[in-house]
Structure 1
């Protein structure tokens, strides 16, 4: 009796356990039917999970293919398949056709994307509605009315998954309602219906990643053995060539990214040599992890390709893929398997490199399992900040665990983002586990400029993964470098010392600045053909140059006596090519200092460093005015009180000397001629008319 009495109780307990297990399992289900429907399925499943409404509408949706020329439709969205449609011709106004999804249940929200075609005077409206199971209400999520032009248009609709008070997902359906406007000809069609995990693309994550623009370089594109004239580097959307495998069987084309990306879709294109009609997509989260097949459809992992040489076919993935490489595998093709493509998505994180720090920014939608309290840098005390849409972590060059290394041309700063419960496994993204390494590569060479009328030039550079330091060139009034010159212009007398300080603006105290080459030009253009070099390969080449002490290795100070260029150039600009090294590296270029010509040839190949022509002319006072249409005396009068330049003084002395020589010579000639005339008169008989006596 005891066993008999306990049997219903045990059965009840088992039923309860199984029910809750089913609930828990269903809570992890994201979309329990086809997440991508292109209406190209077999005869038994043309609607791929959608069903016709049986109550509350007047007509059914139909599945068709091919053109409807009277309404401008040439075919489905991709050009070679089927689409669902409702023909409004001859219908009564306000009659409807409703296509509804199977029951959905999910703990996360979704983005519904689809393409629609609405043409003709008879169309009324197309709407997307959400109907919660067990409720009579329907919520309109999206709608459009009237003729939308004779083209396929894309729609994106956010779907909020209903949950009960305990967080358990509640069932719902999505309906497509088509409404007749009038009895005139009209067509409403939909195609390529896709449910994407997460919200719609409100964060700009549906952009081309660089195949067409060449942001993706040739060496990032690889493939199985390829045709001689059709290498993988030619597989660029709208390019002049394409990729064709040498052997179609087991062929593939692969694109690698420098870091983890968010991939949301793919666009393909054929070529005049043929096109791929069916293909698969695989992706890998890192360069070393296993390949994962991208399942775009419930019945097949194959994507529909192209139907001609030029049309572009786009497919959005059913979810956002976090991947560092993606591979396309041809399945079927026409003529030859020819491929041009573009990858769609966005960066997993945005990295800013400044002269002082690194800042990495995540969109919350990319890491929905983490908040600012979950993330930190190598130093756990350096945590994230954030706003409603982004999470931000800032790593100074000195601190927060930042590691610095240097090469001949770069200084590299490295850190990583970690979640609090990270166990050291280097995966990019996992639930409750995150590790994102990042680095900034700072160019160690740059050029800074200033002028005698010193408008201070600060040079700032920014890229997503590379950067340059901020440099500053200042002029000071004395050798103490305490009073900075900030007047415009800065007028100096010739041969007056100029006190110059060049500095790298960064909190990193382990850096050393080195001015490798410095020159002066009469214009702001460093490439001006009239230039005067006063530092070459770290060696002073001007006799007035003095290297001055600075307590900071990030600064270099020197003085040089002022000068001016000939031919009426009122301004002089200083330019220095500088480099930054690790101060602890005794073998760095900065530590080597001045290199004589023989050492330069051994260190670097010819042309590896910039060279400038040296034009050394007379030094002129900035207030001096050269003569043009006026005489020398006017110039001297205008510059009375100013020191005459040495070159001009030499010219004056020579001119006066030549003039005196000319006067003395002329006087000598006159005296000589007179004496010669007197001598001839004394000794020569003068002829007369008288005859001899």
Structure 2
């Protein structure tokens, strides 16, 4: 069925009926949408497949009850509610049927540049799935699905036919390197997408066949963020498709000096007040096509709460703490910075660091990773690049052994300029 949609007479037309795979966006995108918008899109997959919906760009008013997108698992808003998208939450959604409904609402105040979304017809998880990390792509196809098409697991192959699957009683599993086995890396609206194709050899005996042509496009949209953690302790010194999502793997480590040669291995890391701490955030499994940019680093006395008592070192690429200094950011697959150790008042000696980093295409000289400090307006909450959140800690203060260390806050006797 087809929905009949309407908007205020002065507004641009919005909403509609969409089938198969494609993209859609808010009214006037990439320009600002209008006040009091109400748009409904009904999405339908090909055949009996499911719908994978992901948002490629998002910039709405910084108010989740003002301007937002609602997603429903079916052909109307009366079906199961899948979730809300607002601010800068670029979520992805799967339907459980061949329909999905998307509603865009705005109020009468602040407007933004809206959104751009992509929908893809994809196999249901009961037939196949895919997930990715910085190191690998894992493709799983159910043998019951293959049998229904007249194939078995031994006939399947990827773009590189030398990459072979593992076959169990129920599944055919390809575990392949993310940059191998014919995987193709693309940059779509600043995001990283890995793609491959799953095919099957057909029987060539006899004059006829009852096997349909088998080709399944496989793709991973890398997620917007992921989390890793570390701490320190301080002492008084005083034709169908399988579509999935993936996460880049990143790590954050302390080093003993600004040459970043010796990694700190003790946990927790015990330091003295005002001691310079040297931190490297690294993108695992990366190559020269990607760079990593330090967007925001915040500290907390708790590894589980970075809101109640947060203290920023850098925010949106702009230094906040006057001892923070970035050595490398936005030009390599790693970022390096330093700051002086401190302790939270009325808290334990432990300090945790959480950093959000952006991942950009190295060849893009206009990417966010190259633009530096960004003092964004409140409504400019869009993100054009993949990001990750990594956490380091605990750091703890250790007992001050001797007063002779006093006056030398940097144990490496450096004269770094912040």
TM-score normalized with structure 1 length: 0.36
Instruction: Specify which of 78, 86, 93 is matched with residue 234 of structure 1.
Output: 78
- SS of the aligned residue for 1:405 comes to strand
Residue of structure 1 aligned with 2:74, choices 202, 221, 230:
221
Residues 235/528 of structure 1: CA separation in 2 closer, same or farther (3 Å cut): closer
* 1:510–1:562 distance in 2 versus 1, CA, 3 Å: same
Written as runs of structure 1 = structure 2, the 5 A alignment for 1:273-422 is 347-368=126-147, 369-408=150-189, 410-420=191-201
**What CA distance in whole angstroms lies between the structure 2 residues aligned with 1:585 and 1:510?**
10
Match of 2:406 among 611, 619, 643: 643
CA contact (8 A) 1:409 1:444 kept: no
Query: 2:186 and 2:126 mapped to 1: Cα distance?
Result: 25
Give yes or no for the alignment of 1:450 onto 2:230: yes
Gaps in structure 2 of 5+ consecutive residues: 1-49, 52-69, 81-95, 101-119, 204-209, 235-241, 384-395, 410-418
For residue 322 of structure 2, give the secondary structure of its aligned residue in structure 1: coil
Q: 1:519 to 1:383 in 2, by over 3 A?
A: same
Measured against aligned partners, the alpha-carbon deviations of 1:486-544 in whole angstroms (never above 9, x if no partner) come to 21332212222111011122345422111200122222244243332111211223333
Q: Which residue of 2 aligns with 1:437?
A: 217
Contact 2:226 2:249 in 1 (8 A): no
Q: Which has the larger radius of gyration?
A: 1
Q: Deviations over 1:455-504 (max 9, x none)?
A: xxxxxxxx982222222111111223232212133221222211101112
Match of 2:379 in 1: 605
- CA distance in structure 1 between the aligned counterparts of 2:263 and 2:141, rounded to whole angstroms: 42
Q: Does 1:471 align with 2:234?
A: no
1:623 to 393, 399, 402: 399
Greater relative contact order structure (CA < 8 Å, 6+ sep): 2
Distance 2:352 2:379 in 1: 29
Partner of residue 267 from structure 2, selected from 460, 474, 488: 488
> 8 Å contact 1:444–1:580 — kept in the other structure?
no
For the Cα contact (< 8 Å) 1:351–1:358, is it kept in 2? Answer: yes
| 1:417 to partner: Cα distance | 0.1
Report the equivalent of 1:256.
Answer: 98
* 3-state DSSP of counterpart to 2:180: coil
Q: Report if the CA contact (8 A) 2:292-2:331 is conserved.
A: no
Distance (whole Å) between structure 1 residues aligned to residue 309 and residue 352 of structure 2: 11
- Matched residue, 1:543: 322
Which structure shows the higher strand fraction? Answer: 2
- Alpha-carbon deviation of 1:219? 5.0
Give the secondary-structure state (helix, strand or coil) at the position aligned to 1:481.
coil
Question: Contact conserved, 1:444 with 1:581, CA < 8 A, in 2?
Answer: no
Aligned equivalents of 2:306, 2:329: Cα separation in 1: 30
1:111-150 counterparts in 2 under 5 A? none
Measure, in 2, the Cα distance between the counterparts of 1:644 and 1:566: 22
- Check 1:552–1:418 CA distance in 2 against 1; reply closer, same or farther (3 A cut): farther
Which residue does the alignment assign to 1:497?
A: 276
Residue of structure 2 equivalent to 1:553: 332
Gap change, CA 1:391 and 1:516, over 3 Å in 2: same
Structure-2 change in CA distance of 1:432 and 1:590 (3 Å): same
Residue 514 (structure 1) aligned to one of 270, 274, 293: 293
8 A contact 2:330–2:369 mirrored in 1: no
Consecutive aligned runs of 4 or more in structure 1 exceeding 4 Å deviation: 217-220, 549-552, 606-609, 638-642
Q: How far apart in 2 are the matches of 1:588 and 1:579? A: 10
| Pair 1:644–1:484, CA change in 2 (3 A) | closer
Alignment size in residue pairs: 282
TM-score normalized by structure 2?
A: 0.57
Name the CA distance, whole Å, in 2 between partners of 1:534 and 1:235. 45
Q: Secondary structure at the match of 2:271?
A: coil
Distance in 1 between residues matched to 2:288 and 2:133, nearest whole Å: 16
Q: Deviations over 1:213-234 (max 9, x none)?
A: xxxx965533xxxxxxxxx443
Match of 1:590 among 351, 366, 369: 369
Q: 1:415 to 1:564 in 2, by over 3 A?
A: same
Q: Which moved more, 1:463-472 or 1:511-520?
A: 463-472
CA distance in 1, matches of 2:356, 2:321: 17
User: SS state of the match for residue 412, structure 1?
Assistant: strand
Give 1:356 shift. 1.9
CA–CA distance in structure 2, aligned partners of residues 532 and 218 of structure 1: 35
2:10 equivalent in structure 1:
none
Change over 3 Å in CA distance of 1:508–1:360 after alignment to 2: farther
Distance 1:347 1:388, change over 3 A: closer
Counterpart-to-counterpart distance in 2, 1:218 and 1:640:
62
SS in 2 for 1:486: coil
Tell me which residue corresponds to 2:352: 573
Q: What do the CA deviations read for 1:283-329 (whole angstroms, capped 9, x no partner)?
A: xxx97xxxxxxxxxxxxxxxxxxxxxxxxxxxxxxxxxxx97xxxxx
**Structure 1: how far apart are the matches of 2:382 and 2:329?**
29
* Compared CA separation, residues 565 and 643, structure 1 to 2 (3 A): farther
What's the counterpart of residue 458 of structure 1?
A: none
